[in-house]
Amino acid sequence: MEKQVTIQNQTGLHARPAAEFVKTASKFQAEITLIKGEKVINAKSVIGVMSLAASKGTVLTLKAEGPDAAEAIEALSNLIDSKFGEE
């Protein structure tokens, strides 16, 4: 299962939102990856997520496989849509 998401918060996926994203991803059993262009990273790795250097307006693909993949995609896309509570 996959879904396209757009980073909407002003500061992008910097340290705090990246940590929050990973914390949320880690609640799920599903294997979750974030894709930016040709770069594919484990969504449960803070360093991986930060290495994407996703700024405001960056389009990423969220991909999840496993028993709770749908719930994981929904929770993570809602987190991104909420701008990580920054605004």
Assess contact for 79 and 25: CB atoms under 8 A.
Answer: no
Q: Which of 3, 8, 11, 14 is catalytic?
A: 14
Q: How far apart are CA 78 and CA 5, in angstroms?
A: 10
Pick from 9, 20, 29: which is nearest to 71 by CA?
29
- In the residue annotation, 14 being an active-site residue is answered as yes
Which residues are within 8 A (CB) of 21 and not within 5 positions of it... i.e. 6 or more apart? Answer: 13, 43, 49, 76, 79, 80, 84
Give the catalytic positions in this structure: 14
